Amino acid sequence: MKHILLFFIFPLSHFCAMAQWVPLNGPTTHNVLFMDGGRYVFAGTGDGVFRSEDEGLHWEIVPDLPRHYSCYAIAANQDKGQLVAVLRDDACKCFYYYRSNDQGANWKKISTPGFAEYISAVFSGDGGYILTSTSRLQDNQPINTNWESLDGGNSWRRNYMDTLSASPIQSLRLYGTSIWGYSENKLLRGTKQGKDWKLVAITPDSLDIRGYFIAGDTILLNSSASIYSRLWRSVDAGATWLELPFQKSIINFQQYGNTLLALDAYSNIIASQDNGVTWPVISEDSTLLATFLLKGSNLIGYEFGSGVVRSEDLGKHFTRTYERLGSANISDQMAILENQLFVTNAFSGTLEETLPFYDIVHESWGLSTPPSKTHEFSIVTNDIQAFDGRLFACLAGYFTYRSDDKGLSWKACTDLSLWPEVPTGTKFLPMGHSLFLYSHFGNSYYFLNRTDDYGETWINVEYPDFNLCEAGYSDGICLGKSQNSLFAALRYGQCIYKSNDLGNSWESISIPEVPIETDSGLIFIACMATSDKMILLTMGRVERSRRDYFDFVSFDLGTTWIESDAPIGVVETNASILPKIIEFQDLSLLATYSHGVYISQDSGKHWLPFNQGIPSIHVQDIEIDSNNLYVSTWGHGVWKRPLSDLDSYNPAKADSQLNISVGPNPSTGLLRIVSSDPIQSAHFHWFDISGRLCLEQDIEFVCDQSVVELPFQNGVYIYKLTDGNGGRASGKVILLR
């Protein structure tokens, strides 16, 4: 039977691969999780797991592990006989556990304990012992559960170490014959097989633990809150504590002989030979490390922007290998200029880091100069915009730059010596021959600036008093354009204004009506996205300690509003990434931070997912050229999809109902899904009986049938599905094992 199924599955998967998003394999990974697995050094990334057999000089992707899954944790037992990796499929928010018993040469999938939305730690012990700490939300309350397996992950049971703390357990490690870990400001210890857990100590200043090291009865603890840190030492197993003079954040303690190495707040390798009293910087080369690992006498590090580095003298001097290990970059904002796709990074790197761009014609990556290099220190680039043959970048909300040579050099558009009479903002909006700059998040000052001469001079655009429209906490402006009109709204406010003359004058327009049942109920504007066809508006309501969101669309510049099923809600409204609309012929595409890419054939009233192939639903930006769509993702680089895929897109009517039956195979934990209508794939949402979203996933069908295994406990669950043609179905299933 398996051979028959494979015969049918192959052509179906081949067809799907031809009609989905594909990776551009860049920009490169910004950080990794290192682990010494004995034969190999492993590096877990947001874009798969890599291994090196020559201590970091050369790397390969681990073939037995999923290519584009995010690695959340990886661990090895004492003799490297059991390795455990925890990976997450970001597209469906599913965690999977894998085990190797031959030092990482081969891996196999093991069972997943319970249902988790976050994995904070995993520990690999002897004799098939595995301990892991998981978290999930239930009724908006965090539920933290610790699980252990005595048979290498074939079965799991609760480990009640979580009774010692209400927060997740972090950094599970073996020191001597005990497993150690911490939770918030509590240091915990259990036996080698995870028994007899007890509270060893609470940090003397009650700040959260950031790092720790154990050597016999000597304990080093680094406590931290924001930028404030302290280092503590106990020589009597935590009974008494002495504050050491080093007051900087320290992580990643590792020991070599009598020398203790660590990473300081400035990403330098520091070392102590006096039990943690002094920590001189030993790096003589300029590096900015994200992490490091000691492998024998070699130090293997990962540097922001340049990839793997190696040191043969314990961190004094480094050699850059320029091995960058996949595309797990926090790809942020994009801009297309003359067949070059420029991509910013959501986090700063070093001055060695460059602004990557993708050559659309030659299908290769190149490097240009980042605007932050003008300052001689690294600054986050909030937005990048191509405008009339030039590139514009705004950095950290204060610095605005222009490049006239496609990113090779940058010129400041703002003079900070004139503060506060300088334009500030985090986002650009081009309109005609003008460019607007505004703050779309994290700013209660509603500055709106415009330049008509490419940043040489700026005009402060005056608009009606937004303070009259506040509904509570404010967080920047929503700005958009539709046809020849400019629209501005205060996030968390209650007013929208329209201008037909580039902001020189404004008129108020109505907002959609949202029902309120109590006098204490409050409505507000959460976010807005616009195109020439539509204004897509998300309204929020706070009532009876509950927050709900409602999506509306207007086709007549805000005169009238109708309801939309756009997938915009709490994540977008609280994020610095706002939804963005792209129009192509009669279709509209919507990029969202929490649901990926959606497509509409009726100008925004109904939306369907368009995510096939993207490993992350956290989409930062979307761009379009004459041949392709491009999306930048959180942790998985940049992906593209040909516009020709849209030519054959013909969704069915939104009210098309599928005849679906879902039922369990008794005692197996498997669900059999059968459709009476033709179906090839469907996008499923699974909810528990309280209505909490437990899982979102794409399911392939063979002969209109599919069998799935859900990582849930026994109980009643509700499903909702949409197929690729707009067909819908919903129902209830009882999961039995």
Residue 369's alpha-carbon distances to 14, 366, 406, 415, in angstroms, are: 40, 11, 9, 21
- What integer pLDDT is reported at residue 19 of this predicted model? 66
CATH 3.40.50.150 fits 660-735, yes or no: no
- What integer pLDDT is reported at residue 120 of this predicted model? 92
Measured distance CA(353)–CA(307) in Å, rounded: 10
Strand ranges (E), 226-347: 228-234, 242-244, 250-256, 259-264, 269-272, 289-295, 298-303, 307-311, 319-320, 331-337, 340-345
- What integer pLDDT is reported at residue 140 of this predicted model? 65
Measured distance CA(699)–CA(681) in Å, rounded: 6
Residue 291, both tokens: 């992490």
Contacts for 700 with CB less than 8 Å, ≥ 6 apart: 9, 12, 13, 16, 680, 681, 706
Q: What angle do CA 105, 108, 111 make, to 5 degrees?
A: 150
SS3 16: helix
Task: For residue 422, give the DSSP letter.
Answer: S
Would residue 407 be called left, alpha or beta, if left means φ above 0 and alpha means ψ between -120 and 50 degrees?
A: left
Residue 725, both tokens: 């043609």
Taking a C-beta distance cutoff of 8 angstroms, is the pair 648, 666 a contact? no
Q: What is the chain's alpha carbon radius of gyration, rounded to the nearest angstrom? A: 27
Taking a C-beta distance cutoff of 8 angstroms, is the pair 704, 629 a contact? no
Comparing CA positions, the residue from 367, 368, 393 lying closest to residue 380 is 393
- What integer pLDDT is reported at residue 395 of this predicted model? 84
- What integer pLDDT is reported at residue 443 of this predicted model? 61
Mean pLDDT in each 10-residue stretch from start to end of the chain (737 residues)?
A: 30 43 81 92 92 93 91 92 92 86 95 84 95 82 88 91 85 94 95 90 94 94 86 95 88 92 88 93 83 92 84 91 77 92 72 75 85 66 93 85 92 71 84 93 74 92 69 74 94 90 94 88 90 94 85 96 84 72 94 88 87 84 96 90 81 58 69 85 79 79 85 79 79 76
- What integer pLDDT is reported at residue 465 of this predicted model? 66
Contacts for 420 with CB less than 8 Å, ≥ 6 apart: none
- What integer pLDDT is reported at residue 14 of this predicted model? 33
- What integer pLDDT is reported at residue 466 of this predicted model? 60
